[in-house]
């Protein structure tokens, strides 16, 4: 958990917050992930990480949970099909404080309500996030892959074990 005196609030993203969320995503992406990507991968990621693309995805089954501290969004998770982490980002000063883990746990609760029979959560982890996902309990399903320049490691969390 965040150890500052300012509490972290976890909640659903509001419809007018897409731009703030995407700003966070792109800031973290460019610092931590983009240096490991080709130009093709960066371009492809930018298509996914746009306010319009996020708003379109939320018209379907996707949902977003944000972490907020002092009225500022500091973390974000987007879930697809009630079983797949599409995007998960936490601002640099708040990393390694349990915020991503809490975002995942809260998302799992929502997934279980929507799909009580759910047994696994999957993610295509960026290479630099694999260790963090392993710490939470995810297991690798395959070696690193590349699709349209985006590097990722398919991973899975067995919900029966947590």
Domain count, the chain: 1
For the stretch 106-161, pLDDT in tens is 999 999 999 999 999 999 999 999 999 999 999 999 999 999 999 999 999 999 87
CATH number of the domain at 36, please: 3.40.630.30
Q: Is residue 33 part of a domain?
A: yes
Q: Is residue 132 part of a domain?
A: no
Q: Is residue 130 part of a domain?
A: no
Range(s) of the domain holding residue 113: 8-117
Q: Is residue 141 part of a domain?
A: no
Considering the entire predicted model, what is its pTM?
Answer: 0.94
Look at 3-17, 22-36, 83-97, 106-120 and tell me which has the smallest mean pLDDT: 3-17
Local confidence band at 5 (pLDDT 50, 70, 90 cut-offs): confident
Q: Is residue 162 part of a domain?
A: no
User: DSSP string spanning 27-95?
Assistant: HHIIIIIGGGS-HHHHHHHHHHSSHHHHHHHTTTT-EEEEEEETTEEEEEEEEETTTEEEEEEE-GGGT
Q: Average pLDDT over the chain, rounded to whole?
A: 94
Q: Is residue 19 part of a domain?
A: yes
């Amino acid at each position: 958990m965040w150890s500052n005196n300012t509490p972290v609030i976890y909640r659903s993203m509001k419809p007018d917050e897409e731009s703030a969320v995407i700003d966070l995503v792109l800031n973290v992406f460019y610092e931590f992930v983009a240096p490991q990507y080709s130009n093709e991968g960066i371009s492809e990621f930018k298509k996914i990480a746009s306010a319009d693309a996020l708003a379109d995805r939320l018209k379907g089954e996707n949902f977003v949970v944000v972490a907020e501290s002092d009225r500022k969004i500091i973390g974000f998770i987007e879930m697809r099909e009630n079983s797949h982490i599409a995007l998960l980002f936490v601002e640099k000063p708040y990393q390694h404080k349990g915020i991503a883990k809490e975002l995942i746990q809260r998302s799992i609760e929502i997934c279980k309500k929507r799909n009580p029979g759910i047994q696994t959560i999957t993610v295509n982890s960026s290479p630099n996030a694999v260790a963090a996902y392993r710490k939470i309990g995810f297991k690798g399903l395959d070696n690193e892959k590349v699709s349209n320049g985006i590097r990722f490691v398919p991973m899975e969390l067995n919900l029966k074990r947590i």
